[in-house]
Amino acid sequence: MAAYENCYWLSADGLKLHYRSYPGDERLPPVLCLPGLTRNARDYDALAARLAGRRQVIAVDFRGRGKSEYAKDPMTYVPATYVADVQALLAERGITRVVAVGTSLGGIVTMLLAQAGAGIAAALLNDVGPEIEASGITRIRGYVGKGSSCPTWMHAARALQDGNADVYPDWKIEDWLAMAKRVYRLTSSGRIVLDYDLKIAEPFRTPGNESGPDMWAALSALRAVPVLIVRGGRSDVLSQPVAERMLAALDQGELVTLPGVGHAPTLSEPALQAPIDALLEKAVA
């Protein structure tokens, strides 16, 4: 695990929000890591460890996840609010340029940040695009917001394996255990529970709240910057035709499809390391 500092900032509506800050070369745009719907900053520790010393990494817990406070109004669990929260963080830190790495929801937030004028030097969109497959939406709506409590970490790992074996068919039990440590938390009563506010499901279950406005227009805000599109070959969220349309809409786009992986790649896959390094080499100012 890479060394990091737990840091906090305040949202416009007064929530204390958390991010992990990993040290690196301060002359370069930091890597801003934005997680998926039910995930948190811990998803990016492996990436931060690989970039240790080379790049600053800022891994965000969106409101209602990880060490960030839960929202008083669950209807603020929408992309527009996450964008405003991240903008507040960047303003507080005085950061004007970032390399945005967004998985699923985090990729939607990345596109909307670009559309809002954030200084994005390069972007990685992990298994998400301007159009989300209906089958993926249905699957996600089927599990998000449903509580899960386990007596041991092994039980949590088995629960994840039972629900996601088709996403990572080659994983071993140690992989599922590592994922459990990223997805769950240990309560004071000794139970292991999902590490997010179950109320994030409330706006998500309302049709139209999966992403936001015209996301193709949001993607176009990234046209002139280097963009790495990562797609799981088994993904039910980002289809190959949509990924190819995205590639055609970008001046400096690259598409990497990972066979045998569903939604979403972890970004630690060996085939992604060279493309990620190449993306970062293009983002030096």
| pLDDT tens digits, 84-95 | 999 999 999 999
CA distances from 118 to 99, 107, 114, 156 (A): 11, 14, 5, 38
Asked if the model's pLDDT at residue 75 lies above 50, the reply is yes
Query: Closest Cα to residue 130, out of 102, 151, 167?
Result: 102
pLDDT digits 0-9 by tens, 20-61: 999 999 999 999 999 999 999 999 999 999 999 899 999 999
Domains of the chain: 5-134+200-282 (3.40.50.1820)
- Quickly state the pLDDT bin for 1 (edges 50, 70, 90): confident
Asked if the model's pLDDT at residue 204 lies above 80, the reply is no
The predicted pLDDT at position 213 comes to: 66
Q: Which amino acid is at 179?
A: M
Contact call for residues 19 and 61 (beta carbons, < 8 A)? yes
pLDDT digits 0-9 by tens, 94-125: 999 999 999 999 999 999 999 999 999 999 99
Contact call for residues 185 and 191 (beta carbons, < 8 A)? no
